[in-house]
Structure 1
Amino acid sequence: MTRDRATWLLYLHMAAFGYFLYCFGPSVTLLGDDLGVSNAVAALHSTAYAAAGVLIALLGDRPMRRFGRGRTLWAGCALLSAGVLAYCAAGTPAVSLSAALLCGFGAFLVVNVAGTALADHHGPIAGPSALNEANGLAAGVGMAAPLLIGVMDSSGPGWRWAMVVVPLLFGTLAVSLGRTRIPDVVTSGASSAGAPVTAPGPSISSGSSGASGSSGPPMPPEAASTETPASVPGSSDSSTSPAPFSAPTLPSPTSAPPSAHASPVSPTSPTSPTSPTAPTAPTAPTSPTSRSSGSLPAAYWWAWLLTVCSVGVEFSLSLWASTLLRDRTGMSEGAAATAMTAVVAGLCLGRLAGGRLALRVPLDRLYGSAVAVNLVGFALFWSATVPWLAYLGLFVSGLGMSVQFPLATAAAIRAADGRADLAVSRLAVATTLAAGGAPFLLGLATDLMPVRTAFLLLPILLLASLPILHKSTHPKPPSRR
């Protein structure tokens, strides 16, 4: 694979996004303490961020096709930078929530364009590898974010200065590589639809029929898995979807986190708008339902719920782990904010290994094993009264979470009966709902009951995902009359 200037520019955009994503999670509780608001109100910042993802998903690829990928990408950088500065300067919840919404608009534009451009620039063969590298770099850079937040908060300057690094990173990219041409949308002879890459860790993804995405989760370029559905046993329509998901979450989102999806249409394909003889050629069997329209099977909607569970756990842990850590171990706010580093380290290592495991282990067995690992990690973290044991538990939880969102995405695409574009588009709703809703519910619960009791929401989601997994991977055969 050739890595030219455009490749490195997109890699660095994903790295800057990864840094922001893993700053955002720990910052929510710190900002809530500064503003003197309840945990439920603090969690609304994640909801505002996710809401922006829904709106960007509704836009689809229209901004890229109207203004070009380059302008859209730099506009996203500007919006994200402005949102971060407003977020750091906020003195009231109204301002900070508006800033979180603005951050979401910018972040989703950045991750959508970067993921789509990488997939198209390197093609169906090398594209997944490029996305793997981009998300690996994002995860590596992202690990520094919670550490810097903790250091800044404990040493005196304040956690907000760690977030100011985000506009500095994008400004440096604009000055040093701003003239680099970014591969644009293919408009002649073929149509190309790309999906955003989910961020490592809490990853969020957005998508539409035009530009579908699957992430994670503020997950996390995380939070995102780096395997393609073709790499997962049983996944379908790999020719249409060379890289429908990548680690990201997440983001996702989470969750972080990211995926790419390119769907080239041959000029001689029966579905090509430029094909003069399309209707008459009996070359390939066609489904009575278009791949981008029509209803989806019941098994798909079970996989959709599986995605909700995986993203909900990832985002909730990312936003509120530091709260339980402070409550159980007596750590300071700044020190507890570094907890996300342990989660991201587990996500990063798990996704490196998970890609290979997905080639050898059936999807349902691998997902079930990941849930078991996650439950063990949660038990360690939940019961810990000393920091080192809590960090170990978070690391193990990160290992378990690392493959859950990517595998849920693969299960959904496999169950979609060939409608990969529509499937990934609908998953955007699942990821944004989970990323915005689950942390809010957990924050609300911590206001009403002890933090430790409220955290039992996470194992409930994990255990609920097991029967859902069975429904999505073992659908009932259609009845014959």
Structure 2
Amino acid sequence: MTNPSRQPFERDPFTILTYGMAVAFGFALAALGPAMPLIREDLDMSRTLGGLHFTALAAGSVLAGFSSERLTARWGRRLLFWAGGTGVAAGAIIVGAGWHPAVTLIGSIVVGTSGALMLTTGQAALSDHHPLHRPVALTEVNTAMSLGAVVPALLIGGLAAAGVGWRAAFLAPLGIWIVLAATRRTEPFPAPAPADAPAERYRLSRSYWIYWAALIPAVGAEWSIAAWGAGFLVDVAGTAEATAALLMMGFFGAMVAGRAVGARIARQAEPPVVLATSITVATVGALVLLIAESAFSAVIGLVVAGLGISMLFPMLLALAMSTAPGHADAASARAFIAGGSAVLVAPLTLGVVADTAGIRAAFGLVPALLGVLALLAVLGWRTAAASRVANP
């Protein structure tokens, strides 16, 4: 008998639409990082105030996680997806046009909330649209988001060097939205899969909540390195700030490459196998980074860690959503609460430890987070397996 999970994975027009909007969100989400020194200079902004913009992005994601299921039930997937995508473009324009920190903060909240609503809806729809290839679809949509996140550093740096300024870069999400609206605006959305219980009486399983909890250290490890990796290179390896920012492309590039290759691996390997391998690779990279004494060894650690971390979120999300058949919208929404909470807490915690004990000691939190993730993953696998035996 042919294994249905080995059937070809089709990137149909709806799938391409979701990927395209994920690129726009990835760009808008990541653009604040390379633009922040220029924003602070233009608006005479403190580091603390600049850091609040990233808090605003994460808070928006948490807000979306609490509200998206109800909004989907009221508006439907298609309307909420397009409303979220429109909000991403609008929020990016608000940031780019901002003449005061209050305006750029508002734009950041709009980007975080709208993008999370769009991606939550898109991931739920992809999960139902590709039930036999859920890990592949969820990995590829996150690859698209990572691809969008790589571009801002190059674009903003190039525009600044050309004398155009940083503000024009924030028009890019609008450009992507226009292309998608012109070519895919009538694309129908898949209906939710049949539920095994009414939404008002359904409770997500224990195995779901274990995978949900595992998302917190996974996302925490990723954002800790993303937020403080450049600072580690400056303080420990002695690189210049501009060079450190450039070397961080090793981490972000590895994230894109890891998800691109991981999507192909996920077509053949089961998610628990991919997840276990990813945790191992990420831990090796984090330990290499932790003991690094030179920029070369630190970059090796960043690249290896990026390759491993790249598949943590997609595989955990796929495993979590597989425990909630017919309730993909609820499962995807709750996942964003976990991810947003991790972004709110982990980089801030690492920064506090770095101020008191040094940045090398602070980076010891990354392998510790991965260790907690490994324990939760094992517990999740065993709980899900026991549930399948009890409820065949």
TM > 0.5 between the two?
A: yes
2:242 paired with 1:334: yes
Give the 5 Å matches for 1:7-22: 10-22=18-30
Aligned position for 1:306: 214
2:344 counterpart (418, 430, 436): 436
Once residues 117 and 442 of structure 1 are traced to their aligned partners in structure 2, the CA distance between those partners, rounded to angstroms, is 35
Once residues 305 and 145 of structure 1 are traced to their aligned partners in structure 2, the CA distance between those partners, rounded to angstroms, is 31
The Cα shift of 1:104 comes to 1.0
Aligned position for 1:164: 168
Q: Is the 8 A contact 2:136 2:263 kept in 1?
A: no
1:391 counterpart (289, 296, 299): 299
Report the CA distance shift for 1:381/1:368 in structure 2 as closer, same or farther (over 3 A).
Answer: same
2:45 paired with 1:35: yes
Report the CA distance shift for 1:115/1:443 in structure 2 as closer, same or farther (over 3 A).
Answer: same
Once residues 87 and 185 of structure 1 are traced to their aligned partners in structure 2, the CA distance between those partners, rounded to angstroms, is 30
The Cα shift of 1:343 comes to 2.0
TM-score by length of 2: 0.76
2:370 paired with 1:465: no
TM-score by length of 1: 0.64
Q: Is the 8 A contact 2:135 2:271 kept in 1?
A: no
Aligned position for 2:152: 145
Q: Is the 8 A contact 1:76 1:110 kept in 2?
A: yes
Please identify, of 82-91 and 345-354, the stretch whose mean Cα deviation from structure 2 is larger: 82-91
Report the CA distance shift for 1:63/1:371 in structure 2 as closer, same or farther (over 3 A).
Answer: closer
Once residues 355 and 225 of structure 2 are traced to their aligned partners in structure 1, the CA distance between those partners, rounded to angstroms, is 16
Aligned position for 2:54: 46
Secondary structure of 1:469 counterpart: helix
Q: Which has the higher contact order (CA 8 A, sep 6+)?
A: 2
Q: Is the 8 A contact 1:143 1:345 kept in 2?
A: yes
Q: Is the 8 A contact 2:55 2:344 kept in 1?
A: yes
Q: Is the 8 A contact 1:321 1:339 kept in 2?
A: no
Aligned position for 2:232: 324
Which residue identity is paired with 2:186?
I
The Cα shift of 1:400 comes to 0.7
Query: Greater helix percent: which structure?
Result: 2
Once residues 149 and 465 of structure 1 are traced to their aligned partners in structure 2, the CA distance between those partners, rounded to angstroms, is 35
Aligned position for 2:223: 315
Report the CA distance shift for 1:368/1:319 in structure 2 as closer, same or farther (over 3 A).
Answer: same
Once residues 310 and 11 of structure 2 are traced to their aligned partners in structure 1, the CA distance between those partners, rounded to angstroms, is 28
Q: Is the 8 A contact 1:150 1:337 kept in 2?
A: no
Give the 5 Å matches for 1:203-214: none
Report the CA distance shift for 1:35/1:305 in structure 2 as closer, same or farther (over 3 A).
Answer: same
Aligned position for 2:356: 448
Q: Give the fraction of aligned pairs with identical amino acids, expressed as a percent.
A: 29
Once residues 180 and 331 of structure 2 are traced to their aligned partners in structure 1, the CA distance between those partners, rounded to angstroms, is 38
Q: Per-residue displacement from partner, 1:96-115 (whole Å, max 9, x unpaired)?
A: 43332122123224434555
Could you say what the CA RMSD is over the residues aligned between the two structures, in angstroms? 4.0
Q: Per-residue displacement from partner, 1:200-250 (whole Å, max 9, x unpaired)?
A: xxxxxxxxxxxxxxxxxxxxxxxxxxxxxxxxxxxxxxxxxxxxxxxxxxx
- Structure 1, unaligned runs of 5 or more: 187-191, 194-262, 266-270, 272-285
Q: Is the 8 A contact 2:25 2:148 kept in 1?
A: no
Report the CA distance shift for 1:477/1:68 in structure 2 as closer, same or farther (over 3 A).
Answer: closer
Give the 5 Å matches for 1:113-152: 115=123, 135-150=142-157
The Cα shift of 1:317 comes to 1.5
Aligned position for 1:276: none
